[in-house]
Amino acid sequence: MGYKLSPLAFDYYLKALRNTYRIFAPVLQKGKGKFAGTDVISYGEINSLDDIMLDRKSYFSPKEVLYPIRETLFYFLNDETKAPAINVKPILILVRPCDLNGIGKLDRVFLNNGQEVDFYYARRRELIKFAMIECVEGFDTCFCVSMDSNVANNYDMAVRFDEDNITVKVVDKSLITKDLTHADTAIFEPAFIQENKVKVTIPEVDLVTKKTFDHELWEEYTSRCIACGRCNTSCITCSCYTMQDIKLSDDKKIGERRRVWAGCHIDGFTNMAGGHNFRKKNGEKMRFKTMHKINDFYKRFNEHMCVGCGRCDDVCPEYISFSKCINKLNAIVREETLHE
Amino acid sequence: MGINGKIVTKNAYRITKTRNKTALRIRVPGGYIKVKHFTLIQSIAEEYGDGTVHITTRQGFEIPHIDFDKIAQINKKIRPLIESLGLDIEVTDYGYPAAGTRNISACVGSRICPQANNDTTKIARKIERTIYPNDFHFKVAITGCPNDCIKAHMQDFGIICTTDPQYDANRCISCKACVKNCKKNVTGALEMNNFNVKRDAEKCIGCGECILKCPIGAWSRGETPYYRMVIMGRTGKKNPRIAMPFIKWSSEDVVVGVIKNTYAFVGRHIDRSLPKEHIGYIVDRVGYQVFKQEVMEGLKLNKKIQIAENIQWHGYYYKQDNQFKSI
């Protein structure tokens, strides 16, 4: 069912929803950009339409709403453990289709990856509903169409933000409040972006060989990448984490265990006992990430991990473009295949 | 030709080595100027000078090789340049009203530079409006961060823009990027403690590097900008020395107020038997404690401010330079 709302009516609708849901959306964090006098857009809880930032892409993805940066798994006291309670008020997140697809990748990792379901992810994920932001223009660095993630259908509600009004399509009936039933009905099917400025061609999965691994391309990234980790922290699909045991007593028997985001470009990633580190050079880290996003993940789940949101391009202080890397890799793989 | 040297100098024209020729100094506070003024500078240099300008060490322009008798004509023409300073005083056709207080220089600041903690141009222009015109010889510079690209440490008043970094432990991924960088490039004010970053407020200089290095936004800028002020640095033929920290974590009002109050301080204590006496030497003569007391008077201090108990300036005296022997 579709409804057309004035901005004011939409605010009343949000207000009604907030009785049941905590609503998250891209929010402008004033003065919180890393450079002086700059803002950053990240996901935060909203109260009204004015809080929602749609003009620019969010710097950080919505993943932190359903997969906290730091999460205490349990507290321990001698042999006893206790998982902390979480806020169980349901959540409604406003996301673009790429991110909605990206969350699908997180679901694969945490919910459909072997026999065990991740308890912590699952209990939060169950609380979440999605209001998909119609996205037909995208931004300069987006390449969702190439990654087949421009279209998403698993939303509970879709929203079109026009200058003068907001149109919503409600799939999940529980999201219909009396504010909607009083509003004008409308026929509304969200449209999806059909072409990005940036296009990538993924090298065919099976054609990536050991030779591709040893290619000098990765040396270029060794000289350019500074391994700051921003590509990992801004990515909607990066889901690696590490563990921390925080001991609060001298005998180390009281404390908490938490998991914390980690990333292949972040110092200490997969370090082993004795200080062993598999990927010392930054080009090797870049290769690892690239392969995971457009090769390895596919082998396991039959779909690519990267959704082409382009945030890694947006945030890289060294202006490394992941889409360019994919295309370069594709050219190399084609070259290698031709010469075999 | 009869020239009243005092009058022309005050009018921003200098006595040059070429007899009967002068040079005009154009003020460019913060080194920030709209390029539309270039055509005026160009036309004056071509019509009255030798078609060249010198870009001064303080970020102004000096137009050389001007005949003294053209000053009145030129003064009329440079009115737009003086108007562009946005001063509170009435602009006339008589040129610059003072030249003693030198052009306020500034690094490019946060309009361009990622390292900068503040808009140095804006602050430079604000201070210009506060202290110009004034005849006392003051040198003021503003730098966006403790890298001090403008060499605030060589000024009578050097203002270093800082930020009070805010840490959100809930966002921290313990990557140590801030800790390692602070240790290597700054003061080592950060250390890891139980997977959290602990900041030693005494060691922190507010450079904002932790914010720049953090990949997850666990560090962010505080709402209020702060300033460190270093004072009484100087060059010169007697005792060159670097400016020393006077106040830390100061509000903008206090740093501006200190400079303003120093004019009255100099007015009370300057040795008028000399052709001129630089502030640094006046402070040396009357003592830091007197200076501190007088320039802080009436200022509303912000809560976080710290003021130096004492200052020991270093530098050296040319006359004690006895380390050299002829080969």
Query: pLDDT tens digits, residue range A10-34?
Result: 999 999 999 999 999 999 999 999 9
Residue in A closest to B109 by C-alpha = A36
* pLDDT confidence of residue A224: 97
Which helix (DSSP H) or strand (DSSP E) does residue B131 occupy? helix B120-131
CATH number for the domain spanning B110: value is 3.30.413.10
Domain count, chain B: 3
- Interatomic CA distance for residues B177 and A263, integer angstroms: 13
Considering only the C-alpha atoms of chain A, give the largest distance between any 2 of them, rounded to a whole number of Å.
67
Q: Give every CB contact of residue A280 below 8 A, 6+ residues apart in sequence.
A: none
With respect to residue B148, please indicate whether it lies within any of the assigned structural domains: yes
In the sheet that holds A157-161, the strands lie side by side as A40-45, A22-29, A91-95, A128-133, A157-161, A166-170, A2-5, A184-186
- Please indicate if any CB of chain A lies within 8 Å of the CB of B172: yes
- Do B235 and B305 belong to one domain? yes
- Do B118 and B236 belong to one domain? yes
Q: Rounded to 10 degrees, what is the CA torsion of A309, A310, A315, A319?
A: 170
| Min distance B208 CA to chain A CA atoms (Å) | 9
- Do B283 and B135 belong to one domain? yes
On the question of pLDDT at A340 being above 80, the answer is: no
Beta bridge partners of residue B63, listed in sequence order: B24
Condensed to tens digits (0 to 9), the pLDDT of residues B90-115 reads 999 999 999 999 999 999 999 999 99
- Do B143 and B199 belong to one domain? no
Q: Do B220 and A32 touch (CB under 8 A)?
A: yes
With respect to residue B327, please indicate whether it lies within any of the assigned structural domains: no
State the residue range of the domain holding B196: 166-220
Q: Do B195 and A268 touch (CB under 8 A)?
A: no
The full DSSP string for A245-286 is: EEE-STTS-EEEEEEEE--TTSTTTT--GGG--S--SHHHHH
Q: What's the mean per-residue pLDDT of chain A?
A: 96
- Of the candidates B220, B247, B266, which is a domain's last residue? B220
B43 three-class SS: helix
With respect to residue B10, please indicate whether it lies within any of the assigned structural domains: yes
**Taking CB atoms and an 8 Å cutoff, what residues of chain A touch B176?**
267-268
CATH number for the domain spanning B65: value is 3.30.70.3340
The closest alpha carbon to B156, from B222, B236, B44, B63, belongs to: B236
CA angle B283, B287, B291 (to 5 degrees): 65
Q: At what angle do helices B279-286 and B252-269 cross, to 10 degrees?
A: 80
Q: Do A246 and B195 touch (CB under 8 A)?
A: yes
Q: Assign A275 a pLDDT band (cuts: 50, 70, 90).
A: confident
With respect to residue B40, please indicate whether it lies within any of the assigned structural domains: yes
Which of B144, B175, B194 minimises the CB distance to A229? B175
| Min distance A34 CA to chain B CA atoms (Å) | 6
Condensed to tens digits (0 to 9), the pLDDT of residues A240-260 reads 999 999 999 899 899 999 999
Which of B110, B169, B195 minimises the CB distance to A35? B110
The closest alpha carbon to A233, from A108, A68, A54, belongs to: A68
Q: Do B223 and A262 touch (CB under 8 A)?
A: no
With respect to residue B92, please indicate whether it lies within any of the assigned structural domains: no
Q: What are the two backbone dihedrals, phi and then psi, of residue B42, each rounded to the nearest 5 degrees?
A: -60, -45
The closest alpha carbon to B58, from B31, B85, B87, belongs to: B31
Mutate to test the interface with A, among B107, B122, B216 (most CBs of A within 10 A): B216
* pLDDT confidence of residue B321: 80
- Do B188 and B46 belong to one domain? no
Neighbours of B127 (CB within 10 A): 25
* pLDDT confidence of residue A181: 86
Omega before B133 within 30 of 0, i.e. cis = yes
| Min distance A12 CA to chain B CA atoms (Å) | 32
What radius of gyration do chain B's Cα atoms show?
Answer: 22
- As given in the structure block, the two tokens for residue B56 are 């001064």
**Taking CB atoms and an 8 Å cutoff, what residues of chain B touch A228?**
177, 213, 215
With respect to residue B98, please indicate whether it lies within any of the assigned structural domains: no
Q: Do A36 and B173 touch (CB under 8 A)?
A: no
**Taking CB atoms and an 8 Å cutoff, what residues of chain B touch A27?**
none
Q: pLDDT in tens for each of the 327 residues of chain B?
A: 788 989 999 999 999 999 999 999 999 999 999 999 999 999 999 999 999 999 999 999 999 999 999 999 999 999 999 999 989 889 999 999 999 999 999 999 999 999 999 999 999 999 999 999 999 999 999 999 999 999 999 999 999 999 999 999 999 999 999 999 999 999 999 999 999 999 999 999 999 999 999 999 999 999 999 999 999 999 999 999 999 999 999 999 999 999 999 999 999 999 999 988 999 999 999 999 999 999 999 999 999 999 999 999 999 999 988 888 898
Neighbours of A254 (CB within 10 A): 14
Q: ipTM score here?
A: 0.95
- As given in the structure block, the two tokens for residue A229 are 């980790």
Number of H helices, E strands in chain A: 12, 12
CATH number for the domain spanning B174: value is 3.30.70.20
With respect to residue B201, please indicate whether it lies within any of the assigned structural domains: yes
- Do B138 and B232 belong to one domain? yes
- Do B147 and B186 belong to one domain? no
**C-alpha separations of B130 from A148, A224, A293, B87, B259 in Å:** 60, 46, 57, 8, 9
